[in-house]
Structure 1
Amino acid sequence: MILVTGATGNIGGKVLARLRAAGHPVRALTRDPDRAQLPTGIEVVGADLGRPETLPAALDGVRKVFLMSLGADKTVHDANLVAAAGKAGVQHIVQLSTLGVETAAGEGRYPIGDWHRSAEEALRASAVPWTILRPNGFMSMAFAWAPSIRAEGVVRAPVADVPEAVVDPRDVAEAAARVLTSPGHEGAVYSLTGPAGLTVPQQVEIVGQVLGRTLRFETVTLEEQREVMLRYFSAETVDGVIRSIRYVIESGDRLAGTVFDDVRRLLGRAPRSLREWAEDHKDAFLAHSAAGA
């Protein structure tokens, strides 16, 4: 049995679907099974990474775990799952981390990297065999641009001139499924990126070309970005992300634009390009899809 955490999310949901399609027994962990809306036939267990007492039942009979969590609570949530997995006799944990771990200096200037680095350390310190996946930023973050693209033909973001080799979430999920179901990955760390480092204006240009529209890019302040993010995330997480963005702007973060070959090594093919991703998801940016995007 493979337990998938974050099973209703962007990456976890795709991992779950791939494993199920390949015939592997899977169990989806979610805090609210009644609202999960997962496909019929998926075993769903209610548990919360922030409540350790809920985890033993979720791990009963589980051999492998796909572990992901987000935000300022990541260190605690991952450590809770790792501790419970060790007691349950889990044989392998595949943890979703971030490329930013290598940028973090432990000084609080790049909290996103600090959160993930601490979570990695909790996993490495356990007796459970592990594999760590460090993806770059996801191409799907562009979905946040859809409302302003549809309404105004404009994209607003706080970072303009730092290239990032954004990665297709489908490639990340496929890599995770491969690592979970094939031998020889224990103790490995994989850096997952797209095929090219692109600034946000360059990304916007590609999306515009796919849509057949000329899109405009505008820089917003960090305070403006913070106000938008507070609609969706806790203040602690938002403030950590804003500090991280400030660090990227000030430092240039050369690592973010670096292209790694691990997607090709794991999947035997090149990573999908942003143009491919945009072609496959362009309906989300079209006016007629405004109600359901």
Structure 2
Amino acid sequence: MTILVTGATGNVGGKVLARLHAAGHSVRALTRDPARAELPAGVEVVGADMGLPDTLPDALDGVRKVFLMSLGHNKRTHDANLVAVARKTGVEHIVQLSTLGVAEVEEENDTPLGLWHRQAEKALTESGLAWTILRPNGFMTHALGWARAARGDGVVRSPVADLPEALVDPQDIAEVAVRALTEPGHEGRVYALTGPEALTARQQVAVLGAAIGRELRFEQISIEEHRAVMAGLYGEATADGVVAALRKALESGDDFRGRLFPDVRNVLGRRARSFQDWAEAHVADFA
């Protein structure tokens, strides 16, 4: 049985691919540029673009399971494109990476970010294929964006100071995805993935400073400054969607992002990794 991994060079997809390959599964990596992909030896690599449906049939040929992820404002169309082709090529089960933001607000009050993921989920759940949906909270790895500051003046800047968030380690997301792809009983399930505690950005900075042995200072910046950074990394449309969701979370005063869900423990049989666990494992990234 061949498993296709999309986003195979990314933060979660790369970890899913590596775990499947190490466990001896037949795995195929989908990437837009195979020549630039640095993937484990022995992994089959195919070139395709989820924005171009005609490139997908060969990538899905002989595939029975898929780890599906895409980012930003293209998610709804990219996921729908792959699902539509998967229905025609014999795929049996798709594990889709979504976001906990889908459950943060009701559909009628949706943010662009929530809407993109909600529509992507709908394309899958109404496809007739077996499905599993992973809805992680924010990633602990977002703190890697603070590495330059940690190595420099020691001042970490963020627009979110005191909003508690139960961030999740992408390693845990990948482990849950692998279980869903390789074990029975996960079909038709939606998993909310969080870490074991809710921390504000100020608290995260304190934990990180203790891990790297250097005092870090937190400085709050405006959402507009944050949006400019996001736009440079991910493009205007995606930055607008992320910022709209952030504004709604800050203005609502709701504690949703700080809620703890048991699904990581339920699937993996252990507690989710804490931010301290993550920070101690990534000290070298801040050296």
TM bucket normalised to smaller: over 0.9
The 5-angstrom pairing of residues 102-251 of structure 1 reads 102-106=103-107, 110-251=111-252
Q: CA deviation at 1:119?
A: 0.6
Which secondary structure does the structure 2 equivalent of 1:63 belong to?
A: strand
CA distance in 1, matches of 2:14, 2:30: 11
CA offset at residue 109 of structure 1? 5.5
1:100 counterpart residue number: 101
CA-CA distance at 1:97 after TM superposition: 0.5
Partners of 1:162 and 1:253 within 8 A in 2:
no
Show the counterpart of 1:264. 265
Q: How far is 1:231 from its partner? A: 1.6
Residue aligned with 2:152, SS: helix
8 Å Cα contact 1:30-1:45 kept in structure 2: yes
Give per-residue Cα distances to partners, 1:37-84, cap 9 Å, x unaligned: 112211000001100001111000000000001101100010001111
Structure 1 distance, partners of 2:107, 2:52, is 26
Residue identity opposite 1:199 in structure 2:
T
CA drift of 1:107 comes to 5.0
1:97–1:120 CA contact under 8 A, matched in 2: yes
2:92–2:130 contact (8 Å) kept in structure 1:
yes
Q: CA deviation at 1:110?
A: 2.1
Q: Distance in 1 between matches of 2:218 and 2:3?
A: 43
AA aligned to 2:159 is P
RMSD, aligned CA: 1.0
The one-letter code sitting in structure 2 at the alignment partner of 1:210 is: A
110-119 or 12-21, larger mean C-alpha shift:
110-119
TM-superposed deviation, 1:108: 6.6
Residue of structure 2 in register with 1:74 after alignment: 75
SS of the residue 2:234 aligns to:
coil
Q: Deviations over 1:2-23 (max 9, x none)?
A: 0000000000000000000110
- Mapping of residues 10-21 of structure 1, within 5 Å: 10-21=11-22
CA contact (8 A) 1:108 1:114 kept: no
Gaps of 5+ in 2: none
Q: For 2:55 and 2:255, how far apart are their aligned partners in 1? A: 41
Identity level (%): 63
Do 1:104 and 1:111's aligned partners in 2 also have CA atoms closer than 8 Å? no
Q: SS in structure 2 opposite 1:69?
A: coil
Q: Could you say what secondary structure the match of 1:131 adopts?
A: strand
How does the TM-score come out when normalised to structure 2? 0.97
Counterpart position of 2:61: 60
Letter in 1 for 2:147: A
* Corresponding residue of 1:9: 10
Q: Which runs of 5+ in 1 are unaligned?
A: 287-293
Q: Distance in 1 between matches of 2:9 and 2:102?
A: 25
Is the 1:105–1:114 contact (alpha carbons within 8 Å) kept by the matching residues of 2?
no
- The CA distance in 2 between the partners of 1:60 and 1:67, in whole Å, is 16
**Mapped contact 1:27–1:44 kept (Cα < 8 A):** yes
Amino acid at match of 1:71: G
What is the deviation of 1:222?
1.2
Which deviates more, 241-250 or 264-273?
241-250
Structure 2: distance between partners of 1:186 and 1:45: 26
State the distance in 1 between where 2:8 and 2:45 align. Answer: 9
Residue of structure 2 equivalent to 1:289: none
SS in 1 for 2:191: strand
Q: Which moved more, 1:195-204 or 1:100-109?
A: 100-109
User: What is the distance in 2 between the residues matched to 1:199 and 1:184?
Assistant: 35
